[in-house]
């Protein structure tokens, strides 16, 4: 029996101690407290109370990593008056971006004082929390499922579907993931579109899968469709999105090998094409053996598809 935890998701708001306690320090710089406030869908606001024993704090920068991304986003704090002790605020604006709710954000600060001493704080993680609904949550070491309005019993069914899908994909791919995959389910498309950049959520969009997270919308009447099709399909996107991340780099003439228990098959790339998502005919069967590989493009934007077709080598 898997160990599961159910809890109500609350707004992620840190607090600062009235009597500061040192939680990190460099040669002369001490971090007294830090906190994060999620203002979905507008921003994440980061606070840092820091003190230098050698001089004035004169410079600070905040660095973010979104989801499982390796790309680092640099955020400049609001202007502050240099001093031995300063309260820093950095606002990461998300309103004009498509950032899925409950995306895990990894961040750290870099601070420098007037003597040249510098401190890089320990990396911490927070969530870009959507507090506009009363969310429920089920999680284990591999899966996090969030939903609202529907009964807990329905959430349990969704969670078990996520567990089964995770186990299936790890079995057939041999890929394991260190951090849990997040499955977020909205009850309507209007609610779902709240996290999209303005005027980018199209009527045909039923979900969005990014690095480490998939966000979908639907009704309780479609529960079987969610458990049998949507969740397994989207979890596979999370896995294969990482596996096929460099698929657009393939070129005609490149070799691709497919390994099975019985044999190894060699394919030579014939074409690499970027197409609209509606070009489903690229998956039509053929009278001869080919390998067709498809992934969303550009990475994390997913407005198009990359289709790589390879011929079986003699």
Closest to 90 (Cα-Cα) out of 140, 157, 43: 43
Instruction: Give 248's DSSP letter.
Output: G
The pLDDT assigned to 300 comes to 60
List per-residue pLDDT tens for the chain, 314 residues long. 333 333 333 233 333 333 344 445 556 899 999 999 999 999 999 999 999 999 999 999 999 999 888 889 999 999 999 999 999 999 999 999 999 999 999 999 999 999 999 999 999 999 999 999 999 999 999 999 999 999 999 999 999 999 999 998 888 777 778 889 999 999 999 999 999 999 999 888 888 888 889 999 988 888 888 888 888 888 877 776 666 778 889 999 999 988 777 888 999 999 999 998 888 888 888 888 999 988 878 766 667 889 999 999 97
Tell me how far the alpha carbon of residue 192 is from its chain's centroid.
16
Q: How far is 40 from 19, CA to CA, in rounded Å? A: 30
3-state secondary structure 133-195: CCEEEEECCCEEEEEECCCHHHHHHHHHHHHHHHHHHHHHHCCCCCCCEEEEEECCHHHHHHH
Spatial strand order in the sheet of 264-275:
255-259, 264-275, 304-312, 290-297
Instruction: Give 279's DSSP letter.
Output: -
The pLDDT assigned to 282 comes to 87
Q: Residues 143, 90: contact at Cβ < 8 Å?
A: no
Q: Residues 305, 294: contact at Cβ < 8 Å?
A: yes
Instruction: Give 274's DSSP letter.
Output: E
Structure tokens that stand for 16 in this block: 């600062």
Residue position matching structure tokens 């997913």? 302
Q: Which domains does the chain have, with CATH numbers?
A: 12-127 (2.60.40.10), 135-243 (3.30.2010.30), 248-312 (2.40.260.10)
Helix residue spans in the chain (DSSP H): 152-173, 189-192, 223-225, 231-243
75 CB neighbour count, 10 Å cutoff: 16
The pLDDT assigned to 246 comes to 81
Structure tokens that stand for 270 in this block: 């014939």
Closest to 85 (Cα-Cα) out of 128, 4, 22: 22
The pLDDT assigned to 94 comes to 96
Q: How far is 146 from 100, CA to CA, in rounded Å? A: 12
């Amino acid at each position: 029996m898997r160990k599961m935890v159910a809890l109500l998701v609350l707004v992620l708001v840190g607090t600062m101690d009235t009597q500061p306690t040192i939680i990190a320090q460099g040669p002369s710089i001490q971090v007294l407290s830090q906190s994060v406030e999620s203002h979905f869908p507008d921003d994440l606001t980061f606070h840092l109370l820091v003190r230098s024993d050698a001089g004035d704090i004169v410079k600070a920068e905040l660095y973010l990593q979104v989801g499982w991304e390796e790309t680092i986003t640099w955020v400049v704090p609001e202007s502050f008056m240099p001093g031995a002790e300063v309260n820093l605020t950095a606002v990461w604006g998300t309103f004009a971006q498509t950032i899925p709710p409950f995306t895990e954000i990894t961040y750290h600060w870099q601070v420098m004082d007037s003597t040249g001493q510098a401190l890089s704080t320990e990396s911490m993680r927070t969530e870009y929390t959507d507090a506009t609904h009363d969310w429920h949550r089920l999680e284990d070491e591999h899966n996090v499922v969030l939903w609202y309005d529907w009964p807990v019993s329905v959430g349990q069914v969704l969670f078990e579907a996520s567990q089964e899908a995770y186990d299936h994909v790890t079995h057939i791919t041999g890929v394991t993931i260190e951090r849990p995959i997040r499955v977020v389910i909205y009850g309507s498309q209007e609610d779902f579109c709240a996290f999209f950049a303005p005027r980018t959520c199209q009527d045909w969009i039923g979900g969005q899968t990014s690095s480490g997270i998939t966000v979908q919308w639907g009704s309780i009447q479609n529960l079987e469709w969610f458990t049998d099709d949507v969740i397994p399909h989207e979890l596979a996107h999370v896995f294969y999105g990482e596996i096929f991340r460099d698929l657009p780099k393939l070129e005609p003439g490149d070799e691709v090998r497919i390994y099975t228990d019985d044999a190894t098959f060699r394919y030579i790339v014939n074409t690499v094409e970027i197409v609209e998502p509606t070009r489903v005919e690229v998956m039509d069967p053929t009278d001869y053996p080919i390998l067709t590989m498809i992934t969303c493009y550009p990475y994390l934007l997913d407005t198009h598809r990359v289709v790589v077709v390879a011929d079986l080598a003699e």
